[in-house]
Amino acid sequence: MDTMLARDEDILKAAEDWRKAGRGVALATVVETWGSAPRPTGSNLVIDEEGNFLGSVSGGCVEGAVVTEAMDVIDSGKPRLLEFGVADETAWNVGLSCGGRIRVYVEKVD
């Protein structure tokens, strides 16, 4: 599998394979977008307990934050709904420089 250009089904297959291999796994899905969002609704990112990930929910802007949240979700087993808006560059917070807003649902695979 080409990890640079993973297709949607490769990502879900990875989620299945990683879980079967005994790894803690979470699946993040873009559930809503407003304005200019880099990845469409339904886009997936799969994350394991060590922070390895495949896929994308943005153009690389918020994946880091989603991975961190996903590791908490793997621990707790409780799904989370995350929202990301425009980045405030002066505050160094995580956000989308494109000016859009997205909501990302993060759930554990168990």
Partner 1 sequence: MQLAELQTVNAERAARRAVLVVTDIKGGAQRVVKAADVAADPLKEVLQKRLRLGKSGMEETPEGEVFVTVHVPSAKLVITGAVHISQALAPMAKMLGYDVAVVDPRTAFASPERFPDVKVIAEWPDVALPPLGVDRYTAFVALTHDPKIDDPALKHALERDCFYIGALGSRKTHAKRVDRLKQNGFDEAAIGRIHAPIGLDIDAVSPPEIAVAILGEITATLRRRDGA
Compose the 60-89 pattern: x for residues touching partner 1 by CB under 8 A, - for all others: ------------------xx-x--------
Residue 47 binds partner 1 (CB under 8 A): no
Q: How far is the CB of 63 from partner 1 (least distance, A)?
A: 19
CB 69 within 8 A of CB 55: no
Residue 41 binds partner 1 (CB under 8 A): yes
Q: How far apart are CA 109 and CA 67, in angstroms?
A: 14
CB 11 within 8 A of CB 54: yes
From residue 98, give the alpha-carbon distance in Å to each of 10, 32, 35, 61, 85: 27, 16, 9, 9, 9
Binding site for partner 1 (CB under 8 A): 5, 7-9, 12-13, 15-16, 19-20, 27, 29, 31-32, 40-42, 78-79, 81, 105, 107-110
